[in-house]
Amino acid sequence: MRYTLHWGRDNARRISTVAELESLLSFLTTVRGREGAPHGVDLLPAGAAGGGLQLGIGHPHRAFVVWLEAGSGTYPGAGGSYGIDDDLDAWPEPIGFECGVEVVDFKPAWTRVTPRQTVAAAREYMLTGAKPTFLRFDPDA
């Protein structure tokens, strides 16, 4: 299956292998978005208008993973469940991620995953097309 990774205001790239995904995510960790913020990106099946995963990429210590139900849209918090590592304490302050047209502050409860876990979640999603299994997903976080 092919996927599309969307980031920034108008950037998108179709990907068909985990190697392409990991390469692009690695690149995005080195490039800052608006106001110097790390990126919020959407990973969707190619041609889909919603659903998939949202990922926070580029903060050195924390990230986010949001599972979006099909038809829920792609704006942060639009019908999504936040991935949580219960062994990881909340970050002490909100973290701003560029999410297309604006920088959105993600509250500490939403960033209870590491950058490495975010890449692993994207990899698992791309291989299975299903919600990553190693995080707990909470729609009320």
For the stretch 36-63, pLDDT in tens is 899 999 999 988 877 899 999 999 999 9
115 vs 3: CA distance, rounded Å: 20
pLDDT for 94 beyond 70: yes
- Per DSSP, the three-state class of 133 is coil
Q: What is the mean pLDDT of residues 104-127?
A: 96
According to DSSP, the β-strands at 80-84 and 11-15 are unpaired
| 81-118 per-residue burial string, b: 16 or more CB within 10 A, e: under 16 | bbbbeeeeeebeeebbbbbbeebbebeeebbbbbbebb
The string of DSSP codes covering 67-118 is: EE-TTS-SSTTSSEEEEE-TTSPPPSS-EEEE-SSSEEEEPGGG--B-HHHH
34 vs 38: CA distance, rounded Å: 8
Extents of the domains making up the chain: 3-131
Q: Which residues, 6+ apart, have CB-to-CB distance to 31 below 8 Å? A: 39, 58
Residue type at position 117: Q
What does the pLDDT read at residue 77?
47
| pLDDT above 90 as % of the chain | 78
Report residue 92's pLDDT band, with 50, 70 and 90 as the boundaries. very high
